[in-house]
Structure 1
Amino acid sequence: MTSRVAIIEDSSVARMLLSSLLTAGHYDVSVGASSETDALLELPPDAVLLGPGVEDAVALIPAIRTKTGASAPPILVLSRDTAPAQRLAALQAGATEVLRYPIDAGHFLARLRSVIRSAEPFRELRRRRVASMQFGFAESAATFERQKRLVLVSENAEPSMIDWPDLPGVRQERCGRREVLSADAQTRQVEAFVLDWSGTFSTAPVRQLLPELRARVHTRHAGIVVLHDPDDDLAAVQALDNGATDAVPLDVAREEIALRLERVLALKGVKDTLRRSTEASVELAVRDSLTGLYNRRYAEAYLADLVSDRAADQAFALMIADIDHFKAINDTYGHAVGDMVLRKVADQLCQQTRAVDLVARLGGEEFLIVLAESNLAQARHAADRLRNRVGRSPIKLDDGSEVAVTVSLGLSMGDARMIERLRGERRLTAPAIGLGDGILSDLISRADRALYRAKALGRNQVQVAV
């Protein structure tokens, strides 16, 4: 989707130049003078560009933020005066970025891409919160915030940035490139890295650290700030286009460095919140709300991956456990007790299986247990252990009485050879195992038939599929 940029500029020549540059960059552009600001912002753009001809851009910034409200877009200020004090005044007023005019086109477009990209997590978090409130969901309680870690990475014992600011709640450290990439560093969470690309320290290995940090699991979500020489626009472009959160010239004021680092840490916090929200949503989608076990949807996806990953000599076991006489329990004691029985049995099954095994609720009183690497003797022993554990643990009710509970289990074994045999019977040639090709249904049906035989033979026993 094309990003929309509103250009506010009082010089017709500058308006034309900026509009042409952004149009060539495939942006949707709206243009107007500062007197037309309200009209330009009727439909909130993805970014606002204040041109060099706006007489008092700093005073206009708060008005733009007020007009656009909670969905305030990033604001880029182009100015012929980018002295540290003027830059800081614009940033403190609410500008997202301040760039020198006349602009370097490559640097300008890299900055624009970066600020639009960084603004999206804030908008997404706001959308999710609004949607949650509309559904009546309470906002998550605030959690304890540990001290954040900020690591300055420099091959020089005395880094170029001399006037380094202190930030409340942030622990600052210095280390070299090799330390950051060491195995020990993987166990320590870092909120942001600052990479020194200035002067003689801007070597190829130092610059290669940026994509390395973005590629590694333990650092890919951290904020990354690159320090570069004031006139080295190319370094800023390379940093931003390779995944840096911000690129900061070394001639900025100490207060600007602090402000930028605070914004980088805030962005990291918002992204972390979004990831946790997504993970929680996925967890809700794949968990059974009553027992806390994985549900059938997850179990089938898990089995599909397990089956497709089997080596020829790696067997796995699949069991279906069914609570005996569960309807009678519900009819005699009520559904509240029935729910208690389901939860207790689920807990007992989990307690008697390994962390690498899967226990899922298929629905009703049926459970699926998958032992990823197990031969028949091991699986049979595990099934008997599960049956005995449940049968020897009656459910205690509030009135002191007990409900005897037993389970019947159907056990089937699988390996790559068996899968290929089933595939051959179905004349399937695709290498991947999918939920729709019938193979998984066959695997579950084999265990289900063994379960029915266990029921027919008197319940509270294990039967193996033949």
Structure 2
Amino acid sequence: MSARILVVDDQAANVRLLEARLQAEYFDVCTASDGFEAIEVARNQQPDLILLDVMMPRMDGYETCAKLKADPSTRHIPVVMVTALDQREDRIRGLESGADDFLTKPIDDVALFARVRSLLRLKTLLDELRYRESNAAFAELHADINEEQAEGYQAVIVSADPRAAKRYATALPNSVTPSCYTDPAKAVAAARAGTDLLIVDLTAADYDGLRLCARVRSDAETRQLPILAVVSPDDVAKAVRALDLGVNDIIHRPVDAGELNARARTQLRRKRYADRLRASLDQSLEMAVTDPLTGLHNRRYISSRLRQALAGANNGGAPVSVLIADIDHFKSINDLYGHEAGDHVLQGFAKRMHAALRALDLAARYGGEEFLVVMPGAGMAEAQIAAERLRAEVADTPFLLEDGTDIAVTVSIGLAQAQVGETFESLLRRADVALYAAKHDGRNQVQAAEASAA
């Protein structure tokens, strides 16, 4: 995995050493000698990851990290703080300033690159979500990677030692409700049922914690779940393997409560941000194919689905019919009662369509007061039954406005069943001709299209 990494250190020898190590692994490297330069380089070059020294003149690493995370243009870049300091207060302060990880000098190359690859994979995922969301129609993202939720998180803890699991649970933020398990199978089941964080004790000999992590990562239900693994400080191989399997973060035994709290909050904050990115993207995609007034599909979406259904029918698949419905004298409703009343009728009509049609039918507002329904697997007889049911549902019950006014509404409907080899345009044209006939013959009726000439 290639990426651009910014190395920040006021000691030129340290910079050259890290630069050589990273370039040997085919990373592109840029450098800075102090916090001010680091912020400027990060803004201009947008690196994929920052290795940041703590002890620097003018502005130390803690302040530099806090400023990077406060800037919207750089807050999404992972920061790994690198320092000779090894006190718990230093690690916690680094994590609380926004750092994604904290490494102590001298740095083990294997551990360093495992953590770098892990953070780069995560950044790639978040960048892809951010890119898709920013390019989705009607996107309005209000998520912030630094935003924290006050409450409502769930965590699953698995450890062969119940006392250790209880200590981990006690150390978690107050916003988290923990559930502790000694049985890995039960822990996985709990994770699949829904949780926000999984803490796995990899020091236990009673079960294979790495296999548990791999299983969680391979399951579609838990693939995006943050995993925090507890490892022995001298078991570098297991820590590296865990990171390569997709574990998000590592904490060493004996576990410090403050450090566990800080690392858990980092993972939960990042998960919440990713979840909101996905939700925003889903909402944007939904809006792109939905009519905002009625909640039905829009013209673009229904046209695409009809073409798919036609392709299937033309290749020997199930038949497909279409229904075009047009509300009678809709202009007079707007003229007599106002456009707000007209919108109310359109919304009510959409609800009645859902009630009258089959579950697999696809309904859309095709334009103005005209609606199109694609009926997969339906022949003309089935389509006529559904169309007549819709016509009666509209005609038999007036639409009631908020002021108590009743509006009598009727609908005219044209039907057509696709013929072998028929095009999208031809099918809609025949249904439209049938609709015109229904209008011409007195409205409030269903007309079926004649077969096209061979």
Task: Give TM-score, length-normalised by structure 2.
Answer: 0.81
Structure 2 partner of 1:289: 292
Q: Paired residue for 1:454, among 415, 438, 441?
A: 438
My pick for the range that moved more, 121-130 or 207-216, is 121-130
Give the aligned residue type for 1:317.
Answer: S
Instruction: Tell me the SS of whatever aligns to 2:67.
Output: helix
Decide which moves more: 16-25 or 384-393. Answer: 16-25
Match of 1:198 among 199, 203, 209: 203
Q: C-alpha deviations, 1:179-228, integer Å up to 9, x for none? A: 2455x864x3211112232252563xx42333432343332232222222
2: CA distance, partners of 1:373 / 1:130: 38
The aligned counterpart of 1:436 is none
* Structure 2 match to 1:432: none
Alpha carbons 1:30, 1:40 under 8 Å: kept? no
Q: Is residue 179 of structure 2 the alignment partner of residue 173 of structure 1?
A: yes
1:148 equivalent in structure 2: 153
**8 Å contact 1:161–1:250 — kept in the other structure?**
no
Residue identity matched to 1:254: A
Quote the offset at 1:127 in angstroms: 10
Aligned-pair CA distance for 1:386 = 0.1
Work out the CA distance in 2 between the residues paired with 1:138 and 1:7: 31
User: Residue 252 and residue 185 in structure 1: after superposition, are their counterparts in 2 closer, same or farther (change >3 A)?
Assistant: closer
TM-score between both structures, scaled by the size of structure 1: 0.79
What number of residue pairs does the alignment pair up? Answer: 434
Q: Report the equivalent of 2:374.
A: 370
Gaps of 5+ in 1: 424-438
1:322 to 314, 320, 326: 326
Whole-angstrom CA distance in 1 between matches of 2:346 and 2:304 = 23
The structure-2 alpha-carbon separation of the partners of 1:277 and 1:399, relative to structure 1 and needing over 3 Å to count, comes to: closer
On the 8 A contact 1:58/1:93 being kept in 2, the answer is no
Give the aligned residue type for 1:38.
Answer: F
- What is the letter of the counterpart of residue 167 of structure 1? P
Which of these residues, 270, 273, 279, is aligned with residue 270 of structure 1?
273
**373, 377, 386: which one aligns with 1:382:** 386
Q: 1:462 to 1:192 in 2, by over 3 A?
A: same
Residue in 2 that maps onto 1:106: 110
Task: Kindly report the root-mean-square deviation, in angstroms, between the aligned alpha carbons of the 2 structures.
Answer: 3.9
The aligned runs of 1:46-445 (5 Å cut-off) are 46=47, 47-51=49-53, 54=55, 59-66=60-67, 69-70=70-71, 71-72=74-75, 73-82=77-86, 84-118=88-122, 147-154=152-159, 156=160, 158=162, 163-164=167-168, 165-175=171-181, 176-182=183-189, 186=192, 188-201=193-206, 203=208, 206-307=209-310, 312=316, 314-396=318-400, 402-414=406-418, 418=419, 421-422=420-421, 439-445=423-429
User: Aligned equivalents of 2:246 and 2:272: distance in 1?
Assistant: 17
Instruction: Give the distance between the partners of 1:201 and 1:55, measured in 2 at CA.
Output: 45
Q: Secondary structure at the match of 1:458?
A: coil
Q: Which moved more, 1:341-350 or 1:88-97?
A: 88-97
Instruction: Assess if the C-alpha contact under 8 Å between 2:157 and 2:187 holds in 1.
Output: no
The answer to whether the Cα contact below 8 Å between 1:320 and 1:451 also exists between their aligned partners in 2 is: yes
> What SS does the corresponding residue of 1:220 show, helix, strand or coil?
coil
Shift in alpha-carbon separation, 1:143–1:347, aligned structure 2, 3 A: farther
Give the partner amino acid of 1:261. Answer: A
Percent identity of paired positions between Structure 1 and Structure 2: 33
Q: Distance in 2 between matches of 1:96 and 1:347?
A: 49
